[in-house]
Amino acid sequence: MARRETTLQAAQGRLRVLIDSEFQPGDKLPNERDLAEQLEVSRATVREVLGQLAAEGVVTRTWGIGTFVHDTAARVPVSIGDVVALRDRITASGHRPALHDASVTRTGCPADCAEVLGLPPGAPVWQVDRLFAVDEVAAAWIRDHLPLSVDGLDLDPSGLVSIDLDLFEFLANATGMPIRRAEIELSAVLAEGEAVDRLGVPVGHPLVSATQVGYSPQGAALFHGHITVRTDVLTLKITRGG
């Protein structure tokens, strides 16, 4: 057993040196056979070492796609247990948030959003598209849909193209009804389509997708959003309280 552990430790050390010297974050590593030849160990040893490095966050392994070098920058922990702006969550963790891209347009309401907001499918709504970065690295792509008006008050979310205005702040000021509760449903996904371009990741890169609904104190849904997060940049912490 001790000899086996020594072999694994030595192989892991050599692979770490190889990654640090010849690869950049996001690069794809050679396949297991080629790595086994370079490290002069068995493919089984390579497979076990890669599993250990994946558990430590050094590499990302995607079945049928390959193994990629993780970004070596520290991931930012973000709590989603409270109704707090993403911008402020990132700042509180000691990192610098930014908007790499943002737009506000009128569009037809998607079916899932229409059901939540109590609108007919295809009814006109505001679409707010924002790409958040952490220390200049794309981290979270958020697409929110808002009604054109709330209780007879017209909404103008054009200010949300600035990092200085958060969605929660905007709705509180525009409607007089602060977001008191947000429901978030999470799922693990593999990057494809628009998410690949927006977040700058390869096809098949593991992501977390979330659907978020924000409610007024009276229980009315004020927005419906989709969030796609790079967990190699942001880590999500869920807290629950009474």
Query: Percentage of residues in the chain with pLDDT exceeding 90?
Result: 31
Length of the chain: 242
| Residue with more model confidence, 44 or 177 | 44
Q: What is the pLDDT of the chain when averaged over all its residues? A: 83
Asked whether the beta carbons of 157 and 128 are under 8 A apart, the reply is yes
pLDDT-based confidence at 183, cuts 50/70/90?
confident
Whether residue 151 has pLDDT greater than 70: yes
Asked whether the beta carbons of 206 and 190 are under 8 A apart, the reply is yes
In this prediction, residue 224 carries a pLDDT of 95
**Which domains, from first to last, does the chain contain?**
2-69 (1.10.10.10), 76-237 (3.40.1410.10)
Whether residue 75 has pLDDT greater than 70: no
Whether residue 225 has pLDDT greater than 50: yes
In this prediction, residue 238 carries a pLDDT of 52
In angstroms, the CA 220 to CA 215 distance is 5
| Residue with more model confidence, 6 or 207 | 207
Task: Reduce the DSSP state of residue 195 to 3 states and report it.
Answer: helix
Q: Which H or E run includes 12?
A: helix 2-22
In this prediction, residues 129-133 reach a mean pLDDT of: 93
pLDDT tens, 30-47? 999 999 999 889 988 888
Of 18-27, 36-45, 229-238, which one has max mean pLDDT?
36-45
Asked whether the beta carbons of 90 and 134 are under 8 A apart, the reply is yes
User: Across the chain, how many H-helices and E-strands are there?
Assistant: 7, 12
Burial 173-195, CB ≥16 within 10 A → b, else e: ebbebebeebeeeeeeebbeeeb
In angstroms, the CA 133 to CA 2 distance is 45
Of 9-18, 102-111, 184-193, 213-222, which one has max mean pLDDT?
102-111
